């Protein structure tokens, strides 16, 4: 069976440097595609594009991963901007919103990571807390991940993937406030912060607040790949039924047929 193709959203940066060049770039930390590849799928980057092209992009995918990054624009969930909220990523918000809607409509599996989980909640009608303390790296550091324990909610999809409490790599300052209608909270941090949300049943939709691409636990990604594989197999037309074996032909007839093929 072919490896599933999973689309990954990207950052859009005004300047990135490689070699002697400093140019605008659509990019993604290597941990994301490497995790997808290591878990048995193909990774395709989806840089911001016109929202009306999202459905065509999703139609070519077996799954969608919405990556972490900039804060979601609070205007999308009807809130005033907190002074601690980062600059708007307007093109990403519009493109990833359209991708999520198209993916949910088509039924392909979806995984949201950090910002991706928050945007999933907003797209479905939920809200965010614009600042929480204690979920980034060690105090006084920048660009260093923290770590804390998450507790699964029994009976949820996430609990079936990781049934025990476990430590996860984390770096964020925003979180789910009011979960969207239709989303179920499936994990919490010790302080009560929502750490995972999901759509129960079908389609397969999960959001996690932490960064599995920065750790060693592959269970969440392997579950996404398995869901993509199962859905792809279910959408394939059934294999043709083999024709009944023909009765053995007389030896003289077989010899005649072989002569005709020469």
pLDDT digit string (tens) for 4-35?
999 999 999 999 999 999 999 999 999 999 99
Instruction: List the beta bridge partners of residue 32.
Output: none
Q: Is 211 a catalytic residue?
A: yes
pLDDT of residue 134: 79
55-69, 78-92, 236-250: least confident range? 236-250
What pLDDT score was predicted for residue 257? Answer: 35
Q: State the average pLDDT over residues 226-233.
A: 94
- pLDDT score for 235: 67
List 114, 135, 195, 198, catalytic entry = 114
Annotated catalytic residue 39: no
d(CA 169, CA 251): 71
Pairing of strands 110-113, 21-27: unpaired
Does the structure show a pLDDT above 50 at 261? no
Query: pLDDT tens, 129-188?
Result: 999 887 887 776 777 888 999 999 999 999 999 999 999 999 889 999 999 999 999 999
Point out the catalytic residue in the list 96, 135, 211, 228.
211
Q: How confident is the model at residue 44 (pLDDT cuts 50, 70, 90)?
A: very high
Q: Is the alpha carbon torsion for 14, 19, 21, 22 positive or negative?
A: positive
* Alpha carbon distances (Å) from 114 to 60, 65, 79, 149, 208: 24, 11, 19, 15, 6
* 260 compared with 133, residue with greater pLDDT: 133
As given in the structure block, the two tokens for residue 201 are: 């049943």
As a dihedral over the C-alpha atoms of residue 160, residue 114, residue 183, residue 186, rounded to 10 degrees, the angle is 30
Name the active-site residue from 96, 195, 198, 213. Answer: 213
Contact between 163 and 220 under an 8 Å Cβ cutoff? The reply is no
The token pair that represents 18 in the structure block? 């490689």
What gap in Å lies between CA 84 and CA 16, rounded to an integer?
25
Find the mean pLDDT for residues 116-131: 97
pTM of the model: 0.88
Using a pLDDT cut of 90, give the percent of the chain over it.
79
Mean pLDDT of 91-97: 98
Q: Which pLDDT value is given to residue 234?
A: 80
Instruction: Give 189-193 contacts, CB < 8 A, sequence gap 24+.
Output: 189/135, 189/148, 189/149, 189/150, 189/151, 190/148, 190/149, 190/151, 191/134, 193/132, 193/135
């Amino acid at each position: 069976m072919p490896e599933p193709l999973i689309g990954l959203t990207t950052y859009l940066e005004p300047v990135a440097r490689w070699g002697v060049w400093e140019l605008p770039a659509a990019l993604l930390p290597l941990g994301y595609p490497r995790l997808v590849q290591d878990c048995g799928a193909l990774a395709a980057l989806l840089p911001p594009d016109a929202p009306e092209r999202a459905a065509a992009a999703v139609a070519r995918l077996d799954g969608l991963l919405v990556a972490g990054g900039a804060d979601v624009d609070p205007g999308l969930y009807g809130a005033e901007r907190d002074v601690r909220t980062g600059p708007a990523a307007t093109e990403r918000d519009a493109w990833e919103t359209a991708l999520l809607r198209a993916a949910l409509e088509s039924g392909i599996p979806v995984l949201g990571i950090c910002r991706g989980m928050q945007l999933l909640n907003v797209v479905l009608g939920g809200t965010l807390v614009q600042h929480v303390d204690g979920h980034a790296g060690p105090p006084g550091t920048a660009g260093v991940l923290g770590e804390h324990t998450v507790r699964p909610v029994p009976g949820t999809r996430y609990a079936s993937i990781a049934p025990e409490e476990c430590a996860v790599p984390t770096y964020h300052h925003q979180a789910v406030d009011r979960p969207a209608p239709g989303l179920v909270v499936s994990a919490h941090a010790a302080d009560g912060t929502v750490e995972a949300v999901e759509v129960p049943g079908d389609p397969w939709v999960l959001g996690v607040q932490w960064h599995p691409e920065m750790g060693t636990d592959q269970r969440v990604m392997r579950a996404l790949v398995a869901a993509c594989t199962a859905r792809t197999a279910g959408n394939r037309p059934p294999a043709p039924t083999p024709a009944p074996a023909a009765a053995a032909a007389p030896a003289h007839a077989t010899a005649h047929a072989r002569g005709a093929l020469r």
